[in-house]
Structure 1
Amino acid sequence: MKRIITSIAIIALLGLTAWKLINNKETVADKVYRPDPNLKVGVKTVKAELHNLTEEAQFLGAFSPNRKIEIRPQAGGEVLQLPIEEGQIVRTGQLIAKLDDAQLRYQLEGAQVSLEGYQNDLKRYEVLVKGDAVPAINLERTQLSIRSTQAQIKQLKKQLDNTTITAPFAGIITSKTVEKGSVVSVGSPIATLVDISQLKLVVNIPENAVNQFHTGQTISVNTEVYSAVEFKGRITMIGAEGDAAHNYPVEIIVPNSAQNPLKAGMYGTISNADKRKAQALAVPRQAIVGSAKKPQLYVVENGKAVLRSVEIGATTNEYFEITKGLKEGEQVVTSGQINLRNGVPVIAQ
């Protein structure tokens, strides 16, 4: 009897629990929001139209000197003359420094005297060898001594030339590291010479735009310093290798101007218009939903939002070209897509 009562109690408890769960589920279901299928969602729309997708991109770079070198002597010694100052303009071949060459001149004088003696000996030996008065080897040794002394003289003259240091090209002395009376060694810097008659503008171009430029192309260059002046430059180099950010260096030579002089370190910008898509069916960028691989957009048809897959072509900062899936004149949703799903009634605001 006890077992029967216990079993009945358990069954009753299980039944009560099941009833409670079913009742709670119905209560929760009643509280779940169910959108009104007839309620219209407010959205903003535009017509799909033809747009000029030509876009002018600007790229910033910095000017650097066309040529810049440190002037270093190929000889050592005391600086006897140094007729330059920082900021001075020098021409090609102008004297930069003159080093003490007295010791070299003494050595050259001695070598020339020795050469003269060997040449006199050669004349005598040539006569004596003909008469068999001296061995022919004496004549050969004298000839070798002459050749050796001549080589020594050439070397000394070259060393003498190296004591006169001149400007290899016209430019501006931007720094002077020694003074008159200083003793310099071979290869020690004396001054820095910069040529800014032309300047190099180096601009890093992203990979999606680098093919718009080519070597030899004439291009306009603008600066912050002379905002109303347009300089003309010529592209001389396009980098064959990009950096980690996939940017490629483009080098442009810009002739300097006497009226609007440029300086190294100034900023310059170039612009280039991509005219591959003059007129194309396009929609604002904010109209596109979904991923880049599977772009979609909402089109309003008969008062309802219809989700449609499309294909994208050219892009600008404002528009996507639509190459497939859309017709000119259709209404495209540009705002409010978060509240939409396929087939939902909409009202344009």
Structure 2
Amino acid sequence: MWKQFLVIGLLAVAAAGAWHFAPWRADGAVAPHRDASVPVMLAPVRSGTVTEAVDAVGTTRAREAVTITVKTTGIVGTIAFEDGQTVTAGTPIIRLDSAELEAAVASAEAELRNSRQALDRAETLSKSRNVAQAQVDALRADLEVKTAAVAAQQARLAERVITAPFAGTLGIRQVSLGALVSPGTPIVTLDDLTRVKVDFNLPEILLSRLSPGLALEVRSDAYPDRAFTAVVTSVGTRIDPATRSVNTVAEIDNRDGPLRPGMFMTVRVQLSSNPAALLVPEQALVPLGTRQFVYMIVGGRAARREVTLGMRMRGEVQILTGLEAGDLVVTEGTQRLRDGVPVEVQEAGATPAAT
């Protein structure tokens, strides 16, 4: 019997609750329905600088670089430089032993003097017709031959002195005094480090925006707190079909000498800068398919507005169309919003209302 009374009691409580929360009254009138407000937080659309840039990696090389070698076989007789020495164009680097060639030059010069004297005598005698003109012509031709022979011997002698082809910095010596060297034997490297080139590749889509004179920011892990300014000097004439990129070369003023050939560099190419770009917090965006929206508050209710995005940065995104500077957009509570839903604006740091 007591179980029947318990069931009747539960049914009575359920009926009372249904009567209390029903949307009608005893007189048959429907009770008014109130929508729950969604707590939200707002942030203003601000103006800021947006820089469009692309990053790449590159490798440095000297403005001019060569490995100095000899043109002829010989014994190293003199070493005229120190490792790391800065030299000007024409500075002697090494001299090969040239005693034999010096003797050959002296002999050729003596023959040249004799030939010139013989010609002078013949020309004097030809004026009194004591020497035939044909003999004078033969002596003149012999003089030319002897002159050419001297020039050839002097050229061979000059090859025994190896000089710097341009101004730069010498590397580490690779030969010793008395060593036998032959054509192609490396003596030392020479690099012009007053300006350093950086080789890097950029996507072909940027080809129309690249041109000599474009300024770049270049950094090296060797100098983490320093940014180097580079200027594009040339853009490749061909696109790599494998990577769809174009080779680009920039130069850095390196007169103070911190950079060396072969260094790994990170390159930032600044394509444009907009100092009055419109920016909103990234969390304000509400994506729907391929379109982007934000919520604004109009008359106490949420109003969805479509926007066009530009550059993305850390925590912010550029707005190209759809908003103006100073507009307020919803940054927290967007997940529960729908167009026209009433909202309750909360101050930053406030605890959202329980729902």
TM-score by length of 1: 0.65
TM-superposition CA deviations, 1:176-202 (whole Å, max 9, x none) = 333322322234322212344554455
State the superposition RMSD in angstroms: 4.4
Contact 2:75 2:181 in 1 (8 A): yes
SS in 1 for 2:320: strand
Distance 1:251 1:155, change over 3 A: same
Residue range with higher mean Cα deviation, 47-56 or 240-249: 240-249
Structure 1 unaligned regions, length at least 5: 1-37
One-letter amino acid of the counterpart of residue 164, structure 1: V
SS in 2 for 1:108: helix
User: Which residue of the partner structure matches residue 251 of structure 2?
Assistant: 252
Distance 1:187 1:267, change over 3 A: closer
User: Which residue of the partner structure matches residue 177 of structure 2?
Assistant: 180
User: Which residue of the partner structure matches residue 91 of structure 1?
Assistant: 87
Alpha-carbon distance between aligned partners in 2 of 1:221 and 1:60, rounded to the nearest angstrom: 9
One-letter amino acid of the counterpart of residue 47, structure 2: H
Distance 1:147 1:95, change over 3 A: same
Contact 1:288 1:297 in 2 (8 A): yes
Name which of 44, 49, 56 aligns with 1:53.
Answer: 49
User: Which residue of the partner structure matches residue 113 of structure 1?
Assistant: 110
Distance 1:123 1:45, change over 3 A: same
Distance 1:155 1:288, change over 3 A: farther
Alpha-carbon distance between aligned partners in 2 of 1:247 and 1:290, rounded to the nearest angstrom: 36
User: Which residue of the partner structure matches residue 103 of structure 1?
Assistant: 100
Alpha-carbon distance between aligned partners in 2 of 1:210 and 1:52, rounded to the nearest angstrom: 27
TM-superposition CA deviations, 1:129-176 (whole Å, max 9, x none) = 344444322211211221222122122212212211233455544333
User: Which residue of the partner structure matches residue 16 of structure 2?
Assistant: none
Contact 1:82 1:180 in 2 (8 A): yes
Name which of 146, 151, 164 aligns with 1:149.
Answer: 146
SS in 2 for 1:141: helix
Distance 1:102 1:67, change over 3 A: same
TM-superposition CA deviations, 1:199-256 (whole Å, max 9, x none) = 4455656666995986286x7765544445566x452614255663546635232334
Structure 2 unaligned regions, length at least 5: 1-33, 345-351
Alpha-carbon distance between aligned partners in 2 of 1:297 and 1:106, rounded to the nearest angstrom: 92
Distance 1:123 1:114, change over 3 A: same
Alpha-carbon distance between aligned partners in 2 of 1:129 and 1:212, rounded to the nearest angstrom: 75
TM-superposition CA deviations, 1:264-313 (whole Å, max 9, x none) = 4445566677773223333345616357xx63315356787766543344
Alpha-carbon distance between aligned partners in 1 of 2:178 and 2:161, rounded to the nearest angstrom: 15
Alpha-carbon distance between aligned partners in 1 of 2:162 and 2:80, rounded to the nearest angstrom: 11
SS in 1 for 2:252: strand
Alpha-carbon distance between aligned partners in 2 of 1:214 and 1:105, rounded to the nearest angstrom: 51
Residue range with higher mean Cα deviation, 57-66 or 204-213: 204-213
Distance 1:200 1:209, change over 3 A: same
User: Which residue of the partner structure matches residue 27 of structure 2?
Assistant: none
Give matches, 1:133-212, under 5 Å: 133-169=130-166, 171-202=168-199
Displacement of 1:262: 4.4
Give matches, 1:248-327, under 5 Å: 249-257=248-256, 261-267=258-264, 276-285=273-282, 287=285, 289=287, 295-299=291-295, 308-313=305-310, 315-327=312-324
Residue 215 (structure 1) aligned with residue 239 (structure 2): no
Residue 76 (structure 1) aligned with residue 109 (structure 2): no
Distance 1:345 1:152, change over 3 A: same
Alpha-carbon distance between aligned partners in 2 of 1:105 and 1:160, rounded to the nearest angstrom: 7
Displacement of 1:105: 2.0
Contact 2:207 2:246 in 1 (8 A): no
